[in-house]
Amino acid sequence: MLSETAKGPWGVMGIPFWRMADSRWWKDFDLVVAALQPAGSRVLDVGCGDGGLVGRLAELGFDALGVDPAAPAHPRLIRESVEQVTGLSTFDAAVAVMALHHAELDAVTSAVAGLLRPRGRLFVYDFDWGAYDDRAAAWLALRDSSGADNSLAGWRREHDGLHREMTMKDALSAEFTVPLVDVRRPYLARMLGRPDLEAAEHALIDAQVLPALGFWLIADKPG
């Protein structure tokens, strides 16, 4: 079911999507895909959610499809997990935004690699919950009015059981080459839905005052 904050409809080539008001997790990452993939590339969004990124990639000129067991009904969205989907031809690239930290990594990595052509490209944006520390907790304490327990102990309780960054990278290395891009990114401001705080968070990360929980990783399937 779409969130009550959904706003739409909007469309690509006459096909309506419902865009979520919250595009925070793929904001800017869509432009990374556009910068590195030729126009017209066939792109799969793994764990596409409401399909907002699929629609955005289509706007940018890509032949984009999404898979997610909870996807809404739409011609460009398939209501299946990537491990179970069948009948698809290969893709030039795949995108996984906040989709791997809770996934069955070996199965998902194998399935994604199987859907990519040789030298196909994988774009990952995820987070390393284990990088959270007392500095991050103190930063959130001054900015999060939700009442959430952002203490180090509370964070660990909430996220224990999710994959950490190195576990995700180890699984990906079985199917993909050494990353072309591996950069640290802000996470906390987006978690709060506060884009106005992201530049400040990024500056504190660069100054090594805050840990960088987010990361972008781009790697190729061997040819």
Domain boundaries of the chain, sorted by first residue: 7-220
- Count the Cβ atoms, other than its own, within 10 Å of residue 109: 24
- Count the Cβ atoms, other than its own, within 10 Å of residue 61: 13
Q: Coil, helix or strand for 11?
A: strand
Q: At what angle do helices 52-59 and 29-36 cross, to 10 degrees?
A: 40
Cis peptide before 118 (omega within 30 of 0): no
Q: What is the pTM of this model?
A: 0.88
Average pLDDT for consecutive 10-residue bins of the chain (223 residues)? Answer: 30 36 81 95 96 95 95 93 95 97 96 97 97 98 95 96 96 91 94 95 97 97 94
**Domain 7-220 CATH class label:** alpha beta
Asked whether the beta carbons of 38 and 61 are under 8 A apart, the reply is no
